[in-house]
A and B are shown apart, each in its own frame.
Chain A
Amino acid sequence: MSKDWPLWEVFIRSKHGLSHKHVGSIHATDAEMAMNNARDVYTRRNEGASIWVVPSVQIVSSAPGDKGMLFDPSEDKVYRHPTFYDVPSDVENM
């Protein structure tokens, strides 16, 4: 068994942000301590309005080798971008 505490990924939603953003990771014995440590390490300068912590082992990540297969095909599909119609001038907030 590893001597280190388990690793947790930390996501913070800032005061003005709409969604949580990955900010880094911390070690902690369990969920409560992970929350405490995330608060102590990553919100010292008024960054946060909400914290998520997730055990790093629970993150499922795409393999770097699959990059071509997963992402290249979308490169030449410009028609998927909503840029082919005119927005009427009196429509705000598009």
Chain B
Amino acid sequence: MNTREQQQFEYLLRLGDSDLILGQRLSAWLGHAPVLEEEMATGNVALDLVGQARSWLSLAGELEAQGRDADRLAYFRDAFDYRNVLITERPNGDYAYTIMRQFLFDAYHYPLLQQLSGSAHEGIREVAAKSVKEVEYHVRRSSEWVIRMGDGTQESHQRIQAALDDLWMYTGEMLTPDDVDDALLEAGVGADLEQVAWSWHDRVRAVTEEATLTLPDESWMQQGGKQGRHTEHLGYILAEMQHLPRSYPDARW
């Protein structure tokens, strides 16, 4: 791959890995969600994200042209080869924590996909146009929950505020462009993260205000997921997710 293809490959991994890791995290709620309706909703969102991950990783595999398909990329890379944003690997915590993590990600994911729906790259454009409908619903649902928990009981308010405070330092990475983001924006292929950040801030401000939550002060932000520097959690996620295909590489349904 030349430099340009290498950057595009990185970009596709970021898109795919963030979806995949968050989808895997959400899947852990199955059988444990607080009520049946949330079980179904969480499962739906998880499946949407894993489906999107499959599309992005397939594109990445095609571009790389080394015979790696989506499964190969998902199951046979180690943590330092993963490019998901750090917020997606945060533990599920309580339900308020899961909802807040989802909201902060959805509020970024939606304008990101809106932008990518106009990408100069045909494959990216098509996957984004399909995914954006799913994510439009994700962000609506997680916003509604943030409002209800924030403006709910004293306990729900305190729990979701704690989640917001804890997750805040993982939000900067999503909205901060690096060399790869800049190069793809220049080529008309990638999203303009500055625009995404505007949209993110607008929504986060409006929803948290309606939820009577207090936004944390601007502070130091975690970085590194997009470059392959992860928290200690990712290794455990991958160990669980990759165990079967690594132990039995030829296993089939």
Q: Which residues of A contact B (CB under 8 A)?
A: 5, 26-30, 32-33, 36-37, 39-41, 44
Interface pair B37/A41, CB less than 8 Å apart:
yes
Interface pair B37/A37, CB less than 8 Å apart:
yes
> How far apart are the CA atoms of A44 and B41 in the complex, in Å?
10
**Segment touching A, from B62-70, B140-148, B217-225:** B140-148
B44 interface residue per 8 A CB criterion: yes
User: Could you mark each residue 101-113 of chain B with 1 if its beta carbon is under 8 Å from any beta carbon of chain A, else 0?
Assistant: 0000000000000
> How far apart are the CA atoms of A27 and B144 in the complex, in Å?
16
Interface pair A40/B148, CB less than 8 Å apart:
no
Chain A residues whose C-beta falls within 8 Å of the C-beta of B40 in the assembled complex:
37, 40-41, 44
- Where chain B touches its partner, the secondary structure class is helix
User: Could you mark each residue 19-43 of chain B with 1 if its beta carbon is under 8 Å from any beta carbon of chain A, else 0?
Assistant: 0000000000000000111001100
Interface pair B37/A40, CB less than 8 Å apart:
yes
Interface pair A27/B41, CB less than 8 Å apart:
no
CB distance from B151 to the nearest CB of A (A): 11
Q: Which residues of B contact A (CB under 8 A)?
A: 35-37, 40-41, 44, 137, 140-141, 144, 148
* In the complex with contacts A29-B148, A32-B144, A37-B44 CB distance below 8 A: no
> How far apart are the CA atoms of A33 and B99 in the complex, in Å?
14
* In the complex with contacts A5-B35, A26-B37, A27-B35, A40-B144 CB distance below 8 A: no
Interface pair A40/B35, CB less than 8 Å apart:
no
> How far apart are the CA atoms of A40 and B140 in the complex, in Å?
13
Q: Which of A26, A27, A30, A36 contacts B140 (CB 8 A)?
A: A36
Q: Which residue of A lies closest to B43 (CB)?
A: A40
Interface pair B35/A36, CB less than 8 Å apart:
no
CB distance from B155 to the nearest CB of A (A): 14
* In the complex with contacts A5-B35, A27-B35, A37-B41 CB distance below 8 A: yes
Interface pair A27/B148, CB less than 8 Å apart:
no
By Cβ-Cβ distance, the 3 closest A-B pairs, closest first, are A37-B37, A40-B41, A40-B40
A32, A37, A40, A41: residue with the most chain B Cβ atoms closer than 10 Å = A40
> How far apart are the CA atoms of A28 and B145 in the complex, in Å?
11
A27-B37, A28-B37, A44-B40 are known contacts; what are 16 more A-B pairs with Cβ within 8 Å? Answer: A29-B148, A30-B148, A32-B144, A33-B144, A33-B148, A36-B144, A37-B37, A37-B40, A40-B37, A40-B40, A40-B41, A40-B44, A41-B36, A41-B37, A41-B40, A44-B44
Q: Which residue of B lies closest to A28 (CB)?
A: B37
- Pick 21 A–B contacts, CB within 8 A, sort by A: A5-B35, A26-B37, A27-B37, A29-B148, A30-B148, A32-B144, A33-B144, A33-B148, A36-B41, A36-B140, A36-B141, A37-B37, A37-B40, A37-B41, A40-B37, A40-B40, A40-B44, A41-B36, A41-B37, A44-B40, A44-B44
